[in-house]
């Protein structure tokens, strides 16, 4: 009988650029710790772990892109509101 020894699913919330930066920093720190050793010793499962890291980084990039687009939309709306306010003031 095969038992499931995988880690539980962890829900991550990347709702801000700071949280994305923190997640990326954690990943970089993990990789640096692994590479600091005098001699790098490959471990079983490294290739699978690296594949998951690539997917993780892609997800971070997509989330960052979505956040950037959302922030740009908010800035555009604010600019339009300011333009309308200026037009209203100039008509007085």
Within its chain, how far is the Cα of 90 from the centroid?
Answer: 43
- Per the CB < 8 A criterion, the answer to whether 23 and 14 are in contact is yes
User: Per-residue pLDDT tens for 19-28?
Assistant: 888 888 888 8
Q: Alpha helices of 1-92 — where are they, by DSSP H?
A: 17-35, 46-91
User: Per-residue pLDDT tens for 59-85?
Assistant: 889 888 989 999 999 999 999 999 999
């Amino acid at each position: 009988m095969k038992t499931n020894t995988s880690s539980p699913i962890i829900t991550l919330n990347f709702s801000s650029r700071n949280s994305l930066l923190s997640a990326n920093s954690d990943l970089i720190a993990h990789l640096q710790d692994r590479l600091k050793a005098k001699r790098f010793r490959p471990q079983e499962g490294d290739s699978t772990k690296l594949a998951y890291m690539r997917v993780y980084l892609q997800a971070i990039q997509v989330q960052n892109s979505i956040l950037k687009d959302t922030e740009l939309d908010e800035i555009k709306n604010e600019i339009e509101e300011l333009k309308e306010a200026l037009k209203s003031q100039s008509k007085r």
